[in-house]
Structure 1
Amino acid sequence: MTDSATDSSVLVQDPADDAVDPELRSRALDGILLLLPRVLKRDLPEVTENACLFDEVGLTSAATLELILELEDHLDVQIDVEGIDQDDLRSVGTLAGFVAGHVIAED
C-alpha cells in the first residue's frame, strides 16, 4: 500500500519555476538553438533541449557571454545575469528557463 503523503513529497517544485513565462521560455529556447551555430561559428548536429552546453555542444565561457548578448538582441529583452550559476548553464533548457525568469522589466 502506498502512502499518498509520501508520494506527493517526491514532487517538489522549485518556487522560481512559477516566475518563468512559458511563452518566453519557448522563445528563448528557439533563440538559443538558432544562435548557437552562429556563436560557435560552426554547424552543429541536432541539438536538443537536454543537450549539455559545455560537454556536448562545446560552449565556452566567452561564447556563453556572446550567446547571452545575441539572445538579448534576438528576443529584444535585457537579461539580469547577476545570479547566473553553473546549474543555469547545465543544458539548453536550463539556460532557456534562466533567461525567461530573469528578464529585466522595462521602465
Structure 2
Amino acid sequence: MSRTAWTSSTRRSSTGTSAAAAGSRSPARMFGLYGRKGTIAPGADADVVIYDPVAEQVMSAETHHMNVDYSAYEGKRVTGRVETVISRGELVIDERKFTGRAGPGAYLPRGVTQYLC
C-alpha cells in the first residue's frame, strides 16, 4: 500500500488490518498467489513492514529510491512512514535506509483467482 493510499485510508478511519487486507491479502487472492503471498505463515514468501502510522513526511524524489529524478507527488505531505522492511528474512530497509541488493526477486506462476473458486 502506498503512502498516499495509507494517508487517504486513515482519513476515512480505516484500520491497519483493513489496510493490510486491501494492500496484500486481497491482491494475492485476486491473482491466484494467496498462500505464497498475502499472508505471514510458514512457507509463505512474505515481506514484513514496520510502519509508523503517525510520522509525517514530505514526498520527494530526493528521499525516495527511484531511478528517476522526479516524483508525481513532489512536495505532498503524507502521514505514515516505512521504518524497516524484511524481505524473505533479509533486512532490506533498516531505519529508513535501503540496505538490500538488486536482483533477489523470483518469478511466481499464478494460479486461478480464488474469487472464481
The alignment's TM-score, normalised by the length of structure 1, stands at 0.28
In terms of fraction of residues, the more strand-rich structure is: 2
Higher relative contact order (CA 8 A, sep 6+): 1
The alignment's TM-score, normalised by the length of structure 2, stands at 0.26
In terms of fraction of residues, the more helix-rich structure is: 1
